[in-house]
Structure 1
């Protein structure tokens, strides 16, 4: 049974578009992570450290080599306070 060559063009287009979309999503995820590979299987300690790094540097993948925290880190808390009437 011969293969109709007219059907190969749409199959090729679909394959190319799946490739374009997957490369695009991968590059967006890579760029969103400060050009570092995506983290998988994060435990609670790593999630807490990522939140701390985000408060220190403004990016959840950024790290600071400064041994002392900046002054705004004292008031930049994770705890949400409610206003007392």
Structure 2
């Protein structure tokens, strides 16, 4: 049974468009995550550490090598405190 060569052009176009869109989607996700692969399967501890890193460095994926936290870290608490209304 001969292959209809006319069908290979649309097949190549569809495959090419899926490949190009997948490539750009992966690059977009990598650029959002500061050049690192996206994280998945995060548990509560990972989310707490992400929040801590964000408060320390200002970026979601950033980490610091400094042994002591900056002075602004003492006031950027994750806990929201309110005064009691009596």
TM-score by length of 1: 0.83
Matched ranges for 1:24-43 at <5 A: 24-43=24-43
Q: Deviations over 1:17-49 (max 9, x none)?
A: 101111111111111111112222222111100
How far, CA to CA, are the matches of 1:77 and 1:7 in structure 2? 61
1:83 deviates by 8.3
Pair 83,24 (structure 1): closer, same or farther in 2 beyond 3 Å: farther
Matched ranges for 1:36-75 at <5 A: 36-75=36-75
Unaligned runs of 5+ in 1: none
Q: Deviations over 1:25-84 (max 9, x none)?
A: 111111111111222222211110011101111111110111111122122222345688
Unaligned runs of 5+ in 2: none
Q: CA RMSD in A?
A: 2.0
Aligned residues: 85
TM-score by length of 2: 0.82
